Amino acid sequence: MLKVDGHELERRLELFREAARAAGIKLTHQRLEIFREVAGSLEHPSAESVHRALSASMPTLSHDTVYRTLWMLTDLGLVSTLGPKRESVRFDANPEPHHHFVCLRCGLARDFVSTELNELRIPDSVSDFGSIQATQVEVHGICNDCQAQQPAD
Amino acid sequence: MLKVDGHELERRLELFREAARAAGIKLTHQRLEIFREVAGSLEHPSAESVHRALSASMPTLSHDTVYRTLWMLTDLGLVSTLGPKRESVRFDANPEPHHHFVCLRCGLARDFVSTELNELRIPDSVSDFGSIQATQVEVHGICNDCQAQQPAD
DNA sequence: TCCTAAATAGGATAGATTCCTATCAGCGTG
DNA sequence: CACGCTGATAGGAATCTATCCTATTTAGGA
């Protein structure tokens, strides 16, 4: 199990404490442990694996708490998600090289093309992880419709 | 509902017919309609929305058929998925700008950094979709562990 | 047209995520 | 430092997503 450096983890925990205080959010034991688990791992865990990892030391921890906390951390900007948020698998039948704009609120996804972005140089170190098949750019933002509904944060 | 240009759609359907023939896969009515639905949309639909869209004209279409067909199209290389395949939501507490390597088989995700990739120029047209918050590069491939298990395709 | 292997329908099942509500606890106040 | 209010939690039920199972159907070659 890969771990984040201890000092770095403490720094992230401090950021969380500050952000929680600023947002008027209570610092419960559950929240601190859940954040520690996500921030301390390099594996980008799922809610399920966070729950599994913590249930040894906190046998009564509920799934609901893990999910609520992770989304709360996401709202605070301390955590993000891989791929389109809270949704089912989405399919893409565009055979041309292309890139995606994805709305962080509603999951809307749109293609765009750019010959420049098709030819990115990826650091050599990445091939230590495995063989590379394709590379694409994901632009995250808020789509026009979502902005119209709830203009600013 | 945004639609792909008719000629382009016919071209993609023809590619599918050829690929199916080459792979010895039967061209059923269900498969053609499911492919038409995905290839004809710019919205990157989920399996559920494909099923919903088709159930008017094919009331007995089963969920299983939609899922099987979409994964089959993925295996043929005619369709891809957005984000890590067939998994639960994954969380990321790394506050520094970074990019991801994602294994297409097992969903393993790892961060890497690159100041060069942090400063990509995104086409102006993308801001027509909405406001941009962040940009990151996703490298898709097969991780070392998965390659060891099943070396080649 | 006939046959066979492959594909489908539909319901059961498994897994992920959210909802509901009674109980609990952080933290500001006195 | 005890008290009380309000937000947070536990636990189970409900929902949604995706897959599995099997009897029946069908594409496509002979």
Pull the structure tokens for residue B53: 């869209």
pLDDT band at B95 (very low <50, low <70, confident <90, very high): confident
Pull the structure tokens for residue A144: 């026009």
Cα(B39)–Cα(B43) distance, integer angstroms:
10
Q: What is the mean pLDDT of residues A32-40?
A: 95
In chain A, the residue whose alpha carbon lies closest to the alpha carbon of B70 is A91
Q: Are A87 and B47 in contact (CB under 8 A)?
A: no
Our measurement of CA A60 to C1' D10, in angstroms, reads 7
Pairing of strands B130-143, B99-103: parallel
Pull the structure tokens for residue A82: 């891989």
Distance of CA B68 to the CA centre of its chain: 14
Cα(B35)–Cα(B16) distance, integer angstroms:
8
B28 touches strand C (CB under 7 A): yes
Total Cβ atoms within 10 A of residue A26: 7
The radius of gyration of chain A's CA atoms, rounded to the nearest angstrom, is 18
In chain A, the domains with their CATH numbers are 6-76 (1.10.10.10), 99-149 (3.30.1490.190)
Nearest to A45 among B74, B91, B137 (CB): B91
> Which one of B89, B121, B135, B145 would you mutate to disrupt binding with A, by most A Cβ within 10 Å of its Cβ?
B89
Between chain A and chain B, the number of residue pairs with CB atoms below 8 A apart is 220
What distances in angstroms separate CA B126 from CA A137, A138, B16, one per listed residue? 12, 11, 30
Q: Which CA-bearing residue is nearest the C1' of D27?
A: B26
Our measurement of CA A46 to C1' D30, in angstroms, reads 53
Our measurement of CA B72 to C1' C24, in angstroms, reads 50
Q: What is the pTM of this model?
A: 0.84
Among the listed residues B42, B94, B59, B104, the one whose alpha carbon sits nearest the alpha carbon of residue A38: B94
pLDDT of residue A1: 66
A7-12: which pairs have CB atoms within 8 A and are 24 or more residues apart? A9/A36, A9/A39, A9/A40, A12/A39, A12/A78, A12/B93, A12/B95
pLDDT band at A17 (very low <50, low <70, confident <90, very high): very high
What integer best gives the mean pLDDT of chain A? 89
CA A117-B78-A119 angle, 5° bins: 15
> Which one of A50, A52, A104, A139 would you mutate to disrupt binding with B, by most B Cβ within 10 Å of its Cβ?
A139
Q: What is the mean pLDDT of residues A72-94?
A: 82
Contacts of B111 in chain A (CB under 8 A): 42
A88 touches strand C (CB under 7 A): no
Q: Which CA-bearing residue is nearest the C1' of D25?
A: B28
Question: Is pLDDT of A60 > 60?
Answer: yes
Cα(A33)–Cα(B146) distance, integer angstroms:
31
Contacts of A79 in chain B (CB under 8 A): 91-93
Cα(A138)–Cα(A81) distance, integer angstroms:
13
Q: Are A97 and A118 in contact (CB under 8 A)?
A: yes
A121 touches strand C (CB under 7 A): no
In chain B, the residue whose alpha carbon lies closest to the alpha carbon of A103 is B130
**Tens digit of each residue's pLDDT (9 = 90 or more) over A87-142:** 667 889 888 899 999 888 888 889 999 999 999 999 999 999 999 998 999 999 99
